[in-house]
């Protein structure tokens, strides 16, 4: 940070990003240089033959060229190690060194091409002396190997240039030194709007390329535009390069652990949970444990095979190859029999217990199933979570839209993509008569809606939509996204929705507002860092893999607020950025498009306790259980389990452990780990 300016444009790489690539190239080239020099010195006496002089000249020039390149790369590595992320001054000579290094590619490429031509023509040393045959083969093999390495390094460099190329760099580079009063001028505002439009167009092109197989209908195009606008708005107002973000996350994790280890106990009066609260927690935990099977079943055979890698195929293989005609309705998708076989294995139900199973999957249209759960006397609607590119586009359509509900709640706003998906399932359930069919079979049963991840968000919104026609509806949302409901809807949902969150799971903490907060925290921790980036990344990797003492983290935090944008020279792209408006309540500066949103319902939080190990493969984890307030999920926590805690199989194992443990201790005194927070 900031991105380097080369050839008059800004690139998505900083001058302190070249330590590790440079060290790797040095290692390869030094080995290569030593090998070629050794072969030349050992066999140079056997090259006095037709073609030998040419080969000898080629190797001598190659040795000299490699020596010059090694010196240049060594200088690049040494300069890249200097300074800090926010102090690129000691690295001001880096552009000149890179120009020299790039210039050396021309003779290297020419010499590699000439060597390839000479190798193709062949040499005649083996006709001159019998003893020269072996030497010629060895030297020619070395020459050919050097050619391969040359072209490999050239190709790798070209790929690296393509990766770090910033399509907006040519527009961003000319104006880093704009003064604040210049940023207020109409010309600058017009240029800023043009940059934002260009950034949105670039992101939309990238997303279309990555999702080229998704389709081109109207809904998909809308999702492309929504996602591109979110990305361009979020990333265009800072001069962070990817390695800066990685370093910031590593620092945040250590800072977070350091604060947790040193903070004083809360100065509040605590008391044990009342019997009614504890009984309610036990009942809801048992319900979560039961209905999580349906949320997992909605994923179909991929999750089942993942959970049962050795026996899964044998169990559902017969269903995959057998054609069936049943009373249930199968709509859309491929390999439905495989899906249905895994659903039966996961839920333990019979064929006749299923009313509808759909694996139709498009943008804003999620797979779901409807089944009769005789054990709990409920009609279960399970919505699948993220499993495809279409689902990811639904996730990333993060602007808010109003909900038209037949209830007394005011200001009903929700995540656009998830609300569209919930409306699709609602139309299928009501207009196609699926729920009517289910309740005609079991009219006394209760409606329960469940889902995991994206499916949890859709299930929560679906239960809100179904609240009027089915007042007894209940919802169990497993690892739902935080940025889902407006404040009024969040309060309304507490009476019939229960959410379950495991550990540091990032998704229940993920919203546009929290991402903006994370960006501010990254900028703040980088601003106070006095170590070079390569040391931060090395220390961060060691800490993530093996742990350690967070008090040794390489930062100096004085607790001050970041009040100025951390750009190289106050880039125009930071003008008006809400990332530096710390008092703003509206993420990304748009209260109507990206208002603060909240998770659904009451929240049960499972937290791992009694361990600081990075790898828990050899011991069963222990968990505490409590009711938590949504404010406990108002910040994204950094850690090695922030992604794995979201996996449905990990969540199922945690639920198994917690429920079995509480059942075994039903007659024991209440333990401090299984507590209920008292507001």
Give the angle subtended at the CA of 370 by the CAs of 301 and 598, to the nearest 5°: 90
Q: Which two tokens stand for residue 66?
A: 């490699």
Q: How many CA atoms, within 13 angstroms, populate the side-chain half-sphere of residue 546?
A: 5
Q: What is the distance between the alpha carbons of residues 522 and 506, in angstroms, rounded to a whole number?
A: 16
Q: What is the distance between the alpha carbons of residues 201 and 94, in angstroms, rounded to a whole number?
A: 31
Q: What is the distance between the alpha carbons of residues 485 and 422, in angstroms, rounded to a whole number?
A: 13
Q: What is the distance between the alpha carbons of residues 253 and 90, in angstroms, rounded to a whole number?
A: 28
Residue 655's nearest CA partner among 502, 523, 527 is 502
Query: For 442, which DSSP code?
Result: -
Q: Give catalytic residue positions.
A: 453, 505
Tell me the H-state helices in 471-547. 487-493, 512-527, 533-546
Query: For 4, which DSSP code?
Result: E
Q: What is the distance between the alpha carbons of residues 126 and 107, in angstroms, rounded to a whole number?
A: 30
Q: What is the distance between the alpha carbons of residues 209 and 97, in angstroms, rounded to a whole number?
A: 34
Give the angle subtended at the CA of 612 by the CAs of 609 and 616, to the nearest 5°: 85
> Do residues 349 and 375 make contact, with C-beta atoms less than 8 angstroms apart?
no
Q: What is the distance between the alpha carbons of residues 29 and 68, in angstroms, rounded to a whole number?
A: 11
Q: Which two tokens stand for residue 665?
A: 């201790």
Pairing mode, strands 497-502 and 474-478: parallel
Cis bond upstream, residue 155 (ω within 30): no
Long-range contacts of 613-619 (CB under 8 A, 24+ apart): 613/547, 614/544, 614/545, 614/546, 614/547, 614/640
Residue 423's nearest CA partner among 458, 380, 374, 379 is 458
Beta strands in 553-629 (DSSP E): 602-609, 622-628
Q: What is the distance between the alpha carbons of residues 606 and 503, in angstroms, rounded to a whole number?
A: 6
- Quickly count: other Cβ atoms within 10 Å of residue 326's Cβ: 11
- Quickly count: other Cβ atoms within 10 Å of residue 105's Cβ: 16
> Do residues 457 and 451 make contact, with C-beta atoms less than 8 angstroms apart?
yes
């Amino acid at each position: 940070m900031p991105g380097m300016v080369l050839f008059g444009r800004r690139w998505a790489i900083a001058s302190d990003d070249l330590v590790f690539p440079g060290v790797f190239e040095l290692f390869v080239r030094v080995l290569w240089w030593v090998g070629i020099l050794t072969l030349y010195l050992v066999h140079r006496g056997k090259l006095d033959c037709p073609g030998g002089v040419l080969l000898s000249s080629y190797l001598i020039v190659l040795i000299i060229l490699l020596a010059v390149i090694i010196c240049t790369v060594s200088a690049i590595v040494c300069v890249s190690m200097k300074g800090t992320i926010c102090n690129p001054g000691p690295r001001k000579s880096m552009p000149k060194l890179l120009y020299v290094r790039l210039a050396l590619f021309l003779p290297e490429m020419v010499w590699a091409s000439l060597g390839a031509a000479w190798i193709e023509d062949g040499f005649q040393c083996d006709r001159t002396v019998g003893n020269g045959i072996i030497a010629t083969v060895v030297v020619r093999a070395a020459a050919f190997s050097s050619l391969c390495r040359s072209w490999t390094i050239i190709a790798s460099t070209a790929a690296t240039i393509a990766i770090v190329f910033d399509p907006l760099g040519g527009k961003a580079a000319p104006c880093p030194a704009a003064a604040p009063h210049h940023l207020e001028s109409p010309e600058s505002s017009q240029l800023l709007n043009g940059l934002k439009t260009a950034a949105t167009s670039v992101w939309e092109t990238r997303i279309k390329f990555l999702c080229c197989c998704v389709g081109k209908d109207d809904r998909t195009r809308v999702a492309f535009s929504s996602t591109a606008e979110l990305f361009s708005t979020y990333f265009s107002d800072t001069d962070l390069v990817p390695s800066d973000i990685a370093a910031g996350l590593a620092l945040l994790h250590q800072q977070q652990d350091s604060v947790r280890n040193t903070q004083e106990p809360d100065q509040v009066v605590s008391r044990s949970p009342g019997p009614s609260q504890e009984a309610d927690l036990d009942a809801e935990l048992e319900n979560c444990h039961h209905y999580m099977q349906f949320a997992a079943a909605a994923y179909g055979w991929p999750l089942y095979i993942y959970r049962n890698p050795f026996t899964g195929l044998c169990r559902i293989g017969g269903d995959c190859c057998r054609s069936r005609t049943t009373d249930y309705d199968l709509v859309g998708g491929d390999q439905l029999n495989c899906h249905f076989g895994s659903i039966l294995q996961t839920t333990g139900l019979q064929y006749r217990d299923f009313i509808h199973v759909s694996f139709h999957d498009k943008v804003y249209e999620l797979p779901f199933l409807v089944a009769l759960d005789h054990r709990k006397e409920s009609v279960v609607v399970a919505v699948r979570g993220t499993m495809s590119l279409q689902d990811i586009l639904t996730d990333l359509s993060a602007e808010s839209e109003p909900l038209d509900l037949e209830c007394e709640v005011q200001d009903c706003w929700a995540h656009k993509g998830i609300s569209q998906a919930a409306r699709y399932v609602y139309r299928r359930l009501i207009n196609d008569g699926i729920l009517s069919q289910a309740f005609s079979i079991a009219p006394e049963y209760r409606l329960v809606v469940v889902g995991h991840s994206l499916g949890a968000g859709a299930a929560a919104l679906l239960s809100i939509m179904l609240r009027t026609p089915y007042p007894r509806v209940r919802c169990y949302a497993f690892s739902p996204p935080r940025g889902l409901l407006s404040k009024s809807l969040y309060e309304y949902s507490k009476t019939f929705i229960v959410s379950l969150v495991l550990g540091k799971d990032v998704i229940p903490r993920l919203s546009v507002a929290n991402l903006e907060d994370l960006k501010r925290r990254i900028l703040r921790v980088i601003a106070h860092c006095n170590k070079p980036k390569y040391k931060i990344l090395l220390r961060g990797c060691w800490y993530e893999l093996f742990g350690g003492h967070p008090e040794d983290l390489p930062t100096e935090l004085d607790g001050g607020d970041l009040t100025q944008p951390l750009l190289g020279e106050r880039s125009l792209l930071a003008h008006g950025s809400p990332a530096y408006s710390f008092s703003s309540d509206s993420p990304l500066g748009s209260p109507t498009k990206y208002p603060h949103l909240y998770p659904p319902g009451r929240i049960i939080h499972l937290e791992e306790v009694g361990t600081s190990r990075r790898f828990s493969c050899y011991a069963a984890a222990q968990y505490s259980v409590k009711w938590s307030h949504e404010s406990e999920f108002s910040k994204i926590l950094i850690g090695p389990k922030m992604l794995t805690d979201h996996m449905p199989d990990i969540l199922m194992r945690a639920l198994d452990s917690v429920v079995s443990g509480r059942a075994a201790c039903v007659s024991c005194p209440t333990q401090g780990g299984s507590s209920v927070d008292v507001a």
